[in-house]
Amino acid sequence: KKTSDSIRELIGLQPTVATMVELDENNEVISQKEVQIAEINLEDKLLVKPGDKIPVDGKVVGGESYVDESMINGEPIPKVKKDGEEVFAGTINQDGVLIISALKIGSETVLSNIIRLVEKAQSSRPPVQKFANTIVTYFIPVILTIAIIVFCIWYFILGATLLFSLTCLISILVVACPCALGLATPTAVTVGVGRAAEFGILIKNGDTLENAGQIDVAAFDKTGTITEGKPEVDDVIAYGIDENELITLAASVEQNSNHPIAKAIVRKAGGLELLNTVDFENVTGKGIKAEIDGKTVLAGNKALMQSNDVEISEDILSTFDDLENQSKTIILLAVDDAVCGILSLSDKVKPNSKRTIEELHKMDIETYMLTGDNESTALSVAGDVGIDNVEAGILPENKLDIVHNIQSNGTKKVLFTGDGINDAPALTQADIGVAMGNGTDIAMESGDIVVMEGDLENVVAAVQFSQKVMRRIKENIFWAFAYNSILIPVAAGVLYPTFGIMFRPEFAGLAMALSSVTVISLSLLLKRYVPPIKRAKN
C-alpha cells in the first residue's frame, strides 16, 4: 500500500492534457489546440498559461514567467524562466504565459524519473529478520527432543515409574511453552509505537523500530526540514523615512502579488494600514512597480532600479552587498527615483534544528545536508546548525545516489529526513526515511516515520524510542531465556533425587503464565517512557 499510494500521488502531479500551438516565423501563435500528453512529440510547441502545470520537460522559446519548481528542488521561491531556459514537467507556471519546446516526453521527464527511482528503491528494500521468531522456530523441536530424552532417562535408565517419567515429560512441555518468547517482541513494539504516537511520532512498522536505533548517518533536506520553508523579513533599513513607513510602502505595492517574497513582506506589515495602489505592474525577474498617491514606487532588485534610472549610492550598495553575502534575498524600495530603504529576507532556521544536530552528534551519528539550493546558502545554514557534510545544488536522483553510496559498503545505516516531492526517492532508499508531517503527502507515504507538526527534535526522539524499545525486547528475551534455563531442569526432575522436589504440570502451567505476565508487564512500562531529548526540554 505504501508503494502504490506514493506512486499514485506522484503520477497525479503529471498533467493529462496540454495546449499545442503553431508559431509563425516571428514566434507568434497562429493556432492552438488541446491535446493529450501522450500525443506530444519532441520539439512540439506548447502554450502554458498562468497557474497551469508544465506538461513536459522543455525549453522556453517565448514569454517570461516565474515557475514554482519546489517539487524538483524543494526551494520555496519560484524561479524566473525566460528564452532558452529549461522547465520541467509537473512544475507550476505562476504569473506569465510561456511557450515551450518539448525536450523530454513520457518516461524521459524528470518527474517520470523520480517515479522510477521511488519504485526501484521501494522494491529493493530487504526484509528485516525477526530474531525472536527465529529462536521460536528452533526452540520447539529442541524442547520436544529434551522432553523425550528426559523421559527415556527416567524410565529406561533410572527405572522410574511410567507416571513419574510422563509427569517430567509433560511438565517440561508445559513450562517451556514459548509464549514469553513469542510475546517479547510484539508487546514491546505495540506499546512503543503507541507511546511514540503520543509525542507526534508515527512509526509505520516494527522493522522501522529495529533499524532506527542502529543508524550511523543522519541526512537532512534543507528547506522545510532544517529551515522553516518560507522566507521571512530579517532586516529593515530605512533612508529618510521611518521603518513603519518603509514597511507600509513595501507591503502596499506587494499586496497584489502571489510571490512568496511579496507574501513575507505583507506578513511583516502585520496590522499596519496598507495604501491603495494603481498601475500595478509585475516585472518578471525584477520586482514590482506601482503608483501610490501619484508617486512611482519600485520594489525589487538592482536590475529593476537600473531599468528605471534609479541611482543607488555607494553606501546603499555596500549595505546591499553585505546582506547578499549573508545569502539573503534583498529588496530595494524606491520612491520617485530615490532609494528609500532595503528589506532583506531569508528562510529562517527552525529554533530546534541546532539542538537536534547537537544531540545526534552526542550519539556519534554523522550528519549530512542534501539540498537543491545553492552552495553558499547551504553552507551558511549548515554552519549555523553544525551539520558535518553538505551536498548542494543537487537533483532528487543525486540525493538517492548519495544515500546509496553511504550505504554501499554495508557498514553504515542511513536515516534521511525530508518533506518534499524531491525527497521521496531518498526517503525510500534510506534505511529509515523520516517525513516531516507538514510536508507533502508523497513524502509522508515514502517515509517509514512521520514526524507531526514538523518538530525536528522528534527525529532524535524517534531514534531514542527505537533504542529503548529494542533494549526492552532484549530484556524480555533475556527474561524468557532465564526462566526456561532455570525451570526446564527443575521440570526435568534434577532436584528430585536430592531434595524430593517434583514440578507437577499444574505448577508448570502457572509458572509459564507468570512468565508471560512478566514479559507483558515489562513491555507496558514503556507507556511511561519519555525520550531524553523531551525530558531535557521540559
How far is residue 107's CA from residue 309's CA, in Å, rounded to a whole number? 48
The C-alpha angle 300, 304, 310, rounded to 5 degrees, equals: 105
**Nearest-angstrom CA–CA distance, 316 and 179:** 76
For residue 126, what is the DSSP state?
P
Grid cell digits, residue 16: 493529462
Among 48, 77, 81, 85, which residue's Cα sits nearest to residue 66?
81
Q: Which of 57, 221, 347, 419 is catalytic?
A: 221
Q: Name 222's Cβ contacts closer than 8 Å, sequence gap at least 6.
A: 74, 369, 370, 371, 373, 378, 381
C-alpha cell at 6: 506514493
Helical residues (DSSP H) of 177-233, grouped into ranges: 179-198, 206-212
- Tell me if 491 sits within 8 A of 515, measured CB to CB: no
Residue 101 near residue 45 (C-beta atoms within 8 A): yes
Contact of 305 with 298, CB cutoff 8 Å: yes
Backbone angles phi, psi at 494, to 5 degrees: -65, -25
Q: Residue 290 and residue 202: Cα distance in Å, rounded?
A: 48
Phi and psi at 488, nearest 5°, equal -65, -45
* 44 included as an active-site residue: no
Q: What is the DSSP letter of 456?
A: T
Write down the residue that cell numbers 539573503 correspond to: 328
529: nearest Cα among 215, 205, 201 = 201
Distances (CA, A) of 360 to 200, 367, 404, 522: 19, 8, 21, 28
Report, as residue numbers or ranges, the catalytic residues.
Answer: 221
